[in-house]
């Protein structure tokens, strides 16, 4: 009798386990989510959320997969082959409108596959970013990268981020993740927090955030693109970071070449936009970028209504407008509230903003502090900034006296007017998203800290730091290292202009 009971029990056990085996093979994803044991390693997995412009594919993962952004080399070469003769013809005829048409054709050759329709939906089906199911491994100081279709609206992209977060949690056995958001991703992350709350998150890094917009995008979508030689030269010079002799020499070279090549090029661009606005704005820029909802998250508040009037049609684009209004009207005004809520729930937060570089050379007012892309006042949520390469006006006193010193050693930034002065760090001389090892180390330290770090507690990471490009790290700013070029170097470059 006993034996029989035992064999029946065995039978049930075998059946049960084979049912489980079946479940295993039926769905690997659901198994990993239901059977992963809780991990107590103490380091929540970090999701690094990419900024605007990661590669996009048609039929990703299938045999006929094709990269549509960045355009493939032959597509680019064919475009250039067509454009070059038109350029030489233009040199002879000086027919700006004919050359503007050629530029438009070039843009369409390259960018047609990524265009959106009047509703802000992809014209082509089957387009996505690279995607792999997150695996369970999550060693300290590593990230899981999340790519997305940056053409789509940031508020909608928060839904896809949520799926990814859930998969990472399931695969790693953690209840929470850290979100390391760069550039456009800051807008997606605050949208996510507003929509889905704070329970899944243990740390938030907002770096080079485009969450309050980018000046040149507001101007471009309002029809105010312009180019001037000084900003184009400065921008190209800033591409070469660091204080090493060879880099200083390259910047000097660009400054010198500026007189011969860059100035005429800049005038050409400027004239094109002035003489053929219908071709370059209406038929080109707005058709390609104006219909991408994601791009609208880059428009600062002050340009938003005028840009919509210039670029969109109330009726034709009603669906698109409804999409883009959500971030502008419902999320952006609540950034302070959302980040404060996160901190009150013991989520570690850091805002990291770069400065000391020219912004995209497409605006007349190019002397604002930028990280090469995003205005420093926007990425830092409200820092008071000097004009580029100049100190704040003589006699300037810190605007908010909160008992701390929030002035940068080079007197270019007053952080007291930031939304979160104690939790906002600045790195001078670092390009938008070209982060180095030392920079990453800081973000990991803030993410894993057992408390909310502030800008005063760690002498390695004070409020103001400088990009030490040679050693691939960031160092505290002092009066000595705060200028990216020595006075002699600056003088040489100025003379050369």
Cβ neighbours of residue 401 under 8 Å, at least 6 residues apart? Answer: 416
Strand segments, DSSP code E, in 402-443 are 413-414, 424-428
Q: Which range in 41-49, 102-110, 294-302, 373-381 contacts Zn ion by CB under 5 A?
A: 41-49
Nearest distance, CB of residue 403 and Zn ion, angstroms: 7
Q: Sheet holding 56-58: strands in order across?
A: 66-69, 56-58, 127-129
Nearer to Zn ion by Cβ, of 66 and 404: the residue is 404
Nearest distance, CB of residue 353 and Zn ion, angstroms: 16
Nearer to Zn ion by Cβ, of 174 and 332: the residue is 174
Contact 490, 482 (CB under 8 A): no
Nearer to Zn ion by Cβ, of 27 and 141: the residue is 141
Counting contacts by CB under 5 A, is residue 492 touching Zn ion? no
Nearer to Zn ion by Cβ, of 14 and 41: the residue is 41
Counting contacts by CB under 5 A, is residue 41 touching Zn ion? yes
Taking the C-alpha atoms of residue 325 and residue 475, their distance in angstroms, rounded to an integer, is 40
Number of residues this chain uses to bind Zn ion (CB under 5 A): 5
Q: Sheet holding 424-428: strands in order across?
A: 143-146, 46-49, 177-182, 201-207, 348-355, 424-428, 464-468, 473-476
Taking the C-alpha atoms of residue 191 and residue 491, their distance in angstroms, rounded to an integer, is 46
Cβ neighbours of residue 45 under 8 Å, at least 6 residues apart? Answer: 138, 144, 168, 172, 174, 177, 178
Query: How many CA atoms does the CB half-sphere of 264 hold within 13 Å?
Result: 6
Among 33, 36, 39, 75, binds Zn ion (CB under 5 A): 39
Closest CA to 461 of 210, 205, 209, 239: 205
Taking the C-alpha atoms of residue 243 and residue 251, their distance in angstroms, rounded to an integer, is 10
Taking the C-alpha atoms of residue 16 and residue 12, their distance in angstroms, rounded to an integer, is 6
Cβ neighbours of residue 361 under 8 Å, at least 6 residues apart? Answer: 227, 228, 231, 232, 234, 235, 266
Cβ neighbours of residue 233 under 8 Å, at least 6 residues apart? Answer: 254, 255, 258, 262, 263, 497
Counting contacts by CB under 5 A, is residue 11 touching Zn ion? no
Nearest distance, CB of residue 144 and Zn ion, angstroms: 12
Nearer to Zn ion by Cβ, of 41 and 77: the residue is 41
Counting contacts by CB under 5 A, is residue 175 touching Zn ion? no
Nearer to Zn ion by Cβ, of 177 and 335: the residue is 177
Nearer to Zn ion by Cβ, of 178 and 272: the residue is 178
Residue 335: which H helix or E strand, with range? helix 335-344
Among 326, 404, 492, 497, binds Zn ion (CB under 5 A): 404
Contact 489, 222 (CB under 8 A): no
Counting contacts by CB under 5 A, is residue 66 touching Zn ion? no
Nearest distance, CB of residue 416 and Zn ion, angstroms: 6
Counting contacts by CB under 5 A, is residue 286 touching Zn ion? no
Q: Which range in 22-30, 37-45, 157-165, 383-391 contacts Zn ion by CB under 5 A?
A: 37-45
Nearer to Zn ion by Cβ, of 58 and 447: the residue is 447
Nearest distance, CB of residue 45 and Zn ion, angstroms: 7
Nearer to Zn ion by Cβ, of 72 and 175: the residue is 175
Nearest distance, CB of residue 318 and Zn ion, angstroms: 45
Taking the C-alpha atoms of residue 425 and residue 415, their distance in angstroms, rounded to an integer, is 9
Q: Which range in 64-72, 316-324, 335-343, 398-406 contacts Zn ion by CB under 5 A?
A: 398-406
Expressed in angstroms, the distance from the first to the final Cα of the chain is 101
Question: For residue 389, what are its two tokens?
Answer: 């390469």
Q: Which range in 82-90, 143-151, 305-313, 416-424 contacts Zn ion by CB under 5 A?
A: 416-424
Residues numbered 74-93 forming contacts with Zn ion, rule: CB under 5 A: none
String marking each residue 329-368 x if it binds Zn ion according to CB under 5 A: ----------------------------------------
Return phi, psi of residue 403, to 5°.
90, -5
Counting contacts by CB under 5 A, is residue 301 touching Zn ion? no
Nearer to Zn ion by Cβ, of 51 and 421: the residue is 421
Among 402, 437, 470, 471, binds Zn ion (CB under 5 A): 402
Cβ neighbours of residue 282 under 8 Å, at least 6 residues apart? Answer: none
Nearer to Zn ion by Cβ, of 44 and 270: the residue is 44
Nearest distance, CB of residue 405 and Zn ion, angstroms: 8
Diameter of the chain by CA atoms? 105
Nearer to Zn ion by Cβ, of 167 and 404: the residue is 404
Nearest distance, CB of residue 67 and Zn ion, angstroms: 34
Return phi, psi of residue 473, to 5°.
-150, 180
Nearest distance, CB of residue 141 and Zn ion, angstroms: 13
Query: How many CA atoms does the CB half-sphere of 6 hold within 13 Å?
Result: 3
Counting contacts by CB under 5 A, is residue 421 touching Zn ion? yes
Q: Which residues bind Zn ion (CB under 5 A)?
A: 39, 41, 402, 404, 421
């Amino acid at each position: 009798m006993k034996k029989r009971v035992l064999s029946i029990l065995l039978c049930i056990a075998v059946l049960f386990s084979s049912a489980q085996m079946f479940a295993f093979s039926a769905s690997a994803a659901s198994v990993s989510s239901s059977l992963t044991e809780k991990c107590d390693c103490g380091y929540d997995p970090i999701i690094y959320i990419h900024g605007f412009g990661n590669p996009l594919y048609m039929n990703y993962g299938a045999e006929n997969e094709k990269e549509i952004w960045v355009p493939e080399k032959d597509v680019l070469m064919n475009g250039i082959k067509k454009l070059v003769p038109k350029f030489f013809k233009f040199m002879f005829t000086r027919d700006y409108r004919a050359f503007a048409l050629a530029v438009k054709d070039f843009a369409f050759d390259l960018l047609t596959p990524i265009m959106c329709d009047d509703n802000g939906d992809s014209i082509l089906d089957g387009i996505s970013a690279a995607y792999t199911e997150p695996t369970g491994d999550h060693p300290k100081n590593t990230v899981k990268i999340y790519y997305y279709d940056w053409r789509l609206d940031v508020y909608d992209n928060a839904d896809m981020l949520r799926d990814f977060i859930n998969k990472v949690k399931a695969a790693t056995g953690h209840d929470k993740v850290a979100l390391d958001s760069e550039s456009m991703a800051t807008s997606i992350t605050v949208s996510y927090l507003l929509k889905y709350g704070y329970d899944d998150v243990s740390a938030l890094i907002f770096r080079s955030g485009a969450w309050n917009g980018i000046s040149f995008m507001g101007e471009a979508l309002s029809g105010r693109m312009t180019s001037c030689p000084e900003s184009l030269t400065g921008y190209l010079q800033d591409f070469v970071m660091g204080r090493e002799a060879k880099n200083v020499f390259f910047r000097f070279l660009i400054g010198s070449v500026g007189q011969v090549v860059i100035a005429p090029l800049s005038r050409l661009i400027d004239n094109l936009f002035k003489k053929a606005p219908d071709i370059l704005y209406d038929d080109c820029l707005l058709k390609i970028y104006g219909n991408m909802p994601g791009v609208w998250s880059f428009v600062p508040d002050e340009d938003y209504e005028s840009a919509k009037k210039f670029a969109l049609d109330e009726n034709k684009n009603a669906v698109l407008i409804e999409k883009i209004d959500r971030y502008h009207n419902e999320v952006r005004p609540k950034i302070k509230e959302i980040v404060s809520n996160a901190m009150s729930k013991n989520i570690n937060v850091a805002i990291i903003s770069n400065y000391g570089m020219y912004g995209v050379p497409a605006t007349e007012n190019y002397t604002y502090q930028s990280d090469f892309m995003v205005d420093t006042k926007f990425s830092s949520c409200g820092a008071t900034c000097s004009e580029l390469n100049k100190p704040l006006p003589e006699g300037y006193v810190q605007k908010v006296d909160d008992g701390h010193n929030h002035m940068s050693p080079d007197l270019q930034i007053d952080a007291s007017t930031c939304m979160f002065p104690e939790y906002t760090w600045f790195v001078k001389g670092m390009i938008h998203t070209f982060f180095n090892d030392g920079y990453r180390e800081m973000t990991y330290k803030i993410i894993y800290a057992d408390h909310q770090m502030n800008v005063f507690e760690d002498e390695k990471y004070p409020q103001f730091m400088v990009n030490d490009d040679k050693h691939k790290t960031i160092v505290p700013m002092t009066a000595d290292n705060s200028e990216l070029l020595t006075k002699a170097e600056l003088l040489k470059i100025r003379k050369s202009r």
